[in-house]
Amino acid sequence: MLTMIALTALVFAGMFGWKAYSGLMMANSMKAAGRPPATVSTAQVMETSWTSSIPAVGTLRALQGVDVTPQIAGTITRLYFESGTKVKSGTLLAQQYSADDEARLAGLTAETRLAQLNLQRAQELLPKNLISRFEFDATETNVELARAAEQNLRLIIAQKTIRAPFAGQLGIRKVDVGQYVEPGDTIVRLENMEQLLVDFPVPQRYASQVYVGQPLTAKVDAWPNEQFAGNVRAIESQVEEATRTVTVRAAIDNSDGRLLPGMFAGIELALGTREKVLTLPKAAVTYSPYGDSVYVVQPGPDGDAGTMIVKSVSVTTGLSRGDQIAIEAGLTEGMTVVTSGQQKLMNGAAVTVDNSVTVSNQAAPAAENN
């Protein structure tokens, strides 16, 4: 039995020893062979002439826009508009119940007329000393009080007649005839959309190049192949501390009414100068909190053109346009950079270049017709 146990232990020891030896030999072989080259696609750094512009984004809003609301509580007796119609300034939109106020107004008008007659009689009696000066002053004051009460009620009746505060386009009606409304309840939305405003941030380093009247263009998803012209209306007087940007307000022409408030817009603020810049595809840049970088493809240490390695290079990026981004520092024209496959790389890694499928590198890419 002892002999059998000894032989079994010897067999297992030999098996485990051989497996460990084989694993060690395989690891040494793989270490000697090194990591296999990673397959990447590349592009060259190119010098391009760009018309300088600042890209930004913003939300369109009307030049004037309000929720038409009643000033005092009351019941809607008539509506004089249809949803979505255009109206002029002062157009009658709705009427609240005011019959009781008009009846009181008739009484106050009569009281005013009586007070005026009493004043006329007092003016005749005062020179004859038939009434005291106190009685005359009281009669005169009664006339003023009657006129004030009448005027106050006329203002209340006018407030129940709801009119458009400015010319524009109405939205969807929010109330019905017979509905009781209170101050702040929306009757309809009114927007003046002849021009639209858009507020957008500009980095502080470009603040000196922005001025009132500066031209710009806007693009919206609803009309992807068109640009809408506008100009700068105002510039904020301070820089936002959180973002280090300056808020700029621009007006976009909308005389044809195709743009709507609330649309998301891409803005291109023209600086009016052409300059040469180094560009490469945005996909080539690796962004991190410690700075932006790209992988530059170089010949291997033995100088063999067939053996390529990559080197991580820190870069300073500038403005972007379409698929391209400007490089302000870190690269020179003609360098080859990796555009895909960066996640497999480290500094000094060997690569194999395969450009059978490349990333888009257009300054003004067009959407594919699907």
The model's pLDDT over 312-339, given as tens digits with 9 standing for 90+, comes to 989 988 877 778 888 888 888 989 999 9
Quick check: helix, strand or coil at residue 146? helix
For position 28, what pLDDT does the model report?
65
Q: How much is the average pLDDT of 184-213?
A: 90
Tell me how far CA of residue 332 lies from CA of 98, 311, 327, in angstroms: 79, 14, 9
Nearest to 171 by CA among 70, 260, 75: 260
Fold entry, domain 36-49+275-353: 2.40.420
Fold entry, domain 98-159: Helix Hairpins (1.10.287)
| Kind and range of the H or E run holding 246 | strand 245-253
Quick check: pTM over 0.85?
Answer: no
Top-tier CATH class for 55-63+193-273 = mainly beta
The residue ranges of every structural domain in the chain are: 36-49+275-353, 55-63+193-273, 71-95+163-186, 98-159
Confidence category of residue 11, pLDDT binned at 50, 70, 90? confident
Q: Do residues 70 and 187 make contact, with C-beta atoms less than 8 angstroms apart? A: yes
Q: What is the dihedral of CA 355, 360, 363, 364, to 10 degrees?
A: 140
Main-chain phi, psi angles of 78, to 5 degrees: -150, 145
The model's pLDDT over 262-274, given as tens digits with 9 standing for 90+, comes to 999 999 888 766 6
The model's pLDDT over 72-102, given as tens digits with 9 standing for 90+, comes to 999 999 999 999 899 999 999 999 998 888 8
The architecture CATH gives domain 71-95+163-186: Beta Barrel (2.40)
Other Cβ atoms closer than 10 A to 61: 17
